[in-house]
Every structure is written in structure tokens, then in C-alpha cells.
A and B are shown apart, each in its own frame.
Chain A
Amino acid sequence: MTIKNPYLSMDTFTCVRCGLVVSRQAPEGRPRNHCPSCLHSQHTADTDCQSRMIPISIAVLRNGDWMLIHRCTRCDELTSNPISGDDNQLILVRMAVRPLAQPPFPLEAFGDL
């Protein structure tokens, strides 16, 4: 029999992708719902879905802050969540740069933006 520590399960979650045990509170003091290491999440908001959500896009707020867009691998629902100071910067930047690295039109035409 496993005794669940109610404080542990309330304060942390286990990443559905990489297994990291993550504090539900981000360093900024905000609640968080994605893993800071692999940036994956779980579809729990207003739903019984519970499936894995993958990070697919970086959105930018008016104040310049980055938001992370997740897509549910089962129901395709999209969600938007703030990033945290300890989120994996390499994955974030890679995702932000990706459209520019794979443009559907030649970027050279815009050399003088």
C-alpha cells in the first residue's frame, strides 16, 4: 500500500512526459501547469481529458512577455500559459525561431525590414 503524502501531491505534479517532479508554484509565485524541463503539460483545465499536451508555439503579450501555447495530443484543444523563469530556455528559443528557420516564402525579399 502506498501512502500518498497529501502535501506532496498538492504542491507538486509529475511530468507526464519526462517524469520530473515539479513544484506547482513557479519561482515567480504563480501557479504553473507545465514541466520546466520539457515544457509538456497535461490537459486538466475544465476537462476530464488528462492527456498529454505538447508545446507548439510562443505567443507574445503586449508587455513583451512570452506565453506558451499547448495542444492536447488527444482532443486538439489549445491552451495558453505564462512561461516561468526556470523554463527550459533552449526549447523556448528553438520554438520561437522555428517559423523563421522554415519559412513558406523566401525571407531574403524582406532584407530591409
Chain B
Amino acid sequence: MPRRHPVRGVPQRAKDKRRDNPGDAFRCVGCRLDVPFHAPGTAHRNHCPNCLTSLHVDGRIPGDRRARCRGRMVALSLSVRPDGEWMIIHSCLACDELSANRVAGDDNALVLLRMALRPFGARLPQRALLAL
């Protein structure tokens, strides 16, 4: 899916060199997809690009890997930063902790869009919303 405005601001940096180990992928706890840690336009990937599920391994700072929880984190909602970038709010099913994570360049656009439409349910015609 082409991006209307490519990710702006400071380029993301991979903070954890251990992720460069052979077998440079993780298996998604949501959809079992094998996900490479590295993808174009994406550093320290922390959620599955297919179903957006994540694992509770980070503390306050994305990439710090300071959480012991290891619970499954599901994509709960979207937030838009002042600079226009979409953030995914993840919610841990084990401990209820919330975290905000940047959308990656290869995240499933249809899943993202469904999440953006979620607040409106059947209350508004989706066609009207998409015409915004």
C-alpha cells in the first residue's frame, strides 16, 4: 500500500543489537506469522504487520525490553500525534498495561482502517466516513 506521507521526523534506530542474531524473526502470538524484525522503513518492530498483535516486553520506552510480563498485547485503538503520525494503542491482556506504538510502513492497511472505523460501528455509513 503506498503511503501518502512517508514516515516523517527522526528516523527510527534499532536500539537492540541482539535482534540482529541469526533467525532474525519472531513468531506472532496472534496469527503465528513469522515476522522479520527488520523491514524497510521500520526499526525496532514491536508488533505483527499482519494482525498488529504484540508481546508485552517493553517498559515505558519502546524498545527498552524492561517488562517481564510477556502477555499478549492486542491493538486497541488509534491515536494521531500532533505531527499527523498514527499511533497504535496496544492493551496487554495479562496485566491491562497500555502502550503507544508507531505504525510501521508495512502494517496491514485494512486492519488499521477497520480499527479507525471502530468507534462508529453501525451508527454512520462507512462510505460517508471514507469521504472525509
Contact A71 B4 (CB under 8 A): no
Contact B89 A69 (CB under 8 A): yes
Q: Which residues of the partner chain B approach A100 to less than 8 Å between Cβ atoms?
A: 116-117, 129-130, 132
Contact B116 A103 (CB under 8 A): yes
Q: Which residues of the partner chain A approach B77 to less than 8 Å between Cβ atoms?
A: 57-60, 69
With A69-B98, A79-B98, A113-B113 as contacts: A99 and B121 at CB distance below 8 Å? no
Complex: A100 Cα to B132 Cα, angstroms = 7
Number of B residues, CB within 8 Å of A: 36
B-side binding surface: helix, strand, loop or mixed? mixed
Instruction: Say yes or no for A6: interface residue by CB 8 A criterion.
Output: no
Contact B121 A80 (CB under 8 A): no
Q: Which residues of the partner chain A approach B60 to less than 8 Å between Cβ atoms?
A: 75-77
Complex: A104 Cα to B8 Cα, angstroms = 11
Q: Which residues of the partner chain B approach A66 to less than 8 Å between Cβ atoms?
A: 119
Instruction: Say yes or no for B1: interface residue by CB 8 A criterion.
Output: yes
Write the residues of chain A forming the contact surface with B, with a CB cutoff of 8 angstroms: 56-60, 64, 66, 69, 71, 75-80, 96-111, 113
Q: List 14 A-B contacts (CB under 8 A).
A: A59-B77, A59-B91, A60-B119, A69-B76, A69-B98, A76-B60, A99-B78, A100-B117, A103-B116, A104-B4, A106-B2, A107-B132, A110-B109, A113-B127
